[in-house]
Structure formats: structure tokens, C-alpha cells
Amino acid sequence: MLLSSWDRSGWDPFGEMQRLRSEMNQLLNGAGAVSLARAYPPVNIWLGDNSVVVTTELPGLSSEDIDISIAEDTLTVSGNRVFAANDNQVAWRRRERPLGAFSRTIELPFRVDPDHVEAHCTNGVLEVEMHRPQADLPRKIQVKTR
């Protein structure tokens, strides 16, 4: 190798760069995983026979503050969480509650009927129940004997 002289001196700059790069990659990969895990708002999905329920925690929002839209097999939940107090007049000691506009699209396990959706918001928990369209339900086929 061309660089063998460096090896003899006990220091390999290319080896060092390689090590730095792999450390960097690890860091970046880690950061990517974190941002994915924190998609807001967090959802739980429940599956029934021919229906699916999506629940999500949206404390501080009532049903009028939440927008829900359904297209084919995706559900989009959006809204806005507003500040609890005027910034200029108070001294903040702790701020942990997420604030601001949000929108999240969730992929459902099947196509749902947009006319057959029930959504409730109770104590800051949104529950959306969606059903499979009648046309998509599995049908029993009679086998005839000749």
C-alpha cells in the first residue's frame, strides 16, 4: 500500500477518518430513529372484524378543534395546540407540553368507508372508528354441484 509508511509511524489518518465517519453515521442514524418515534400525536391502532379504531391523545383539544379527513386507506388528524399563557407577562419555569399546529397521516390496514365513520373526543383522547366498505367485505361463494 502507498500509505504503509503511516502505519509504521503508528498513526493512520485514513483509518482515523474511517472511524470518524462510522461514528458520524451512527449518530445520524440514531437521530433519524428518534424523530420518527416522536411523530405527533402518538397513535394506537385497534383492529376489529371489519373495522379499525385509531385512538390518539390530544389533551386540551375538544372535538371542534380537531380536523379529521379520510381518503381511501389513510386517516389524517390535524389541529393546533395553543399556548396556555401570554409569553410576555409570565416567567416560565417548566415547559414540556407540545404546542403548535400538527398534522399526522396514518395508514390503515384496509380501505374504509368515509360515510361510515364515528369519531369521539373524551377527556383529551380522540377515538375514530372506521369500517370497511360493504363492497370490500369478503363474500361467500356458493359452490354448485352439477
Partner 1 sequence: MAQEITKLPTRDFARGQAAHSTRATNVYRPNSDIYEDENHIVLVTDMPGVAPGDVDVTLEQRVLTIRGRLGVERPEGYRAIYSEYGEGNYERAFTLSEDIDQDHIEANHKDGVLTLKLPKAERAKTKKIQVKTA
If one asks whether residue 124 binds partner 1 (CB under 8 A), the answer comes out as yes
Tell me, residue by residue from 9 to 48, as one string, x for binding to partner 1 by CB under 8 A and - for no binding. Answer: ----------------------------xxx--xxxxxxx
Q: C-alpha grid cell for residue 71? A: 381518503
How many residues in total does the chain contain?
Answer: 146
CA–CA dist 82, 61 (Å, integer): 9
Tell me, residue by residue from 99 to 118, as one string, x for binding to partner 1 by CB under 8 A and - for no binding. Answer: ----------x---------
Query: What are the distances in angstroms from CA 142 to CA 27, 63, 133, 139, 145?
Result: 59, 46, 22, 10, 10
Q: Which parts of this chain interact with partner 1 (CB under 8 A)?
A: 37-39, 42-49, 51, 53, 55, 57-62, 84-85, 89-98, 109, 121-125, 127, 129
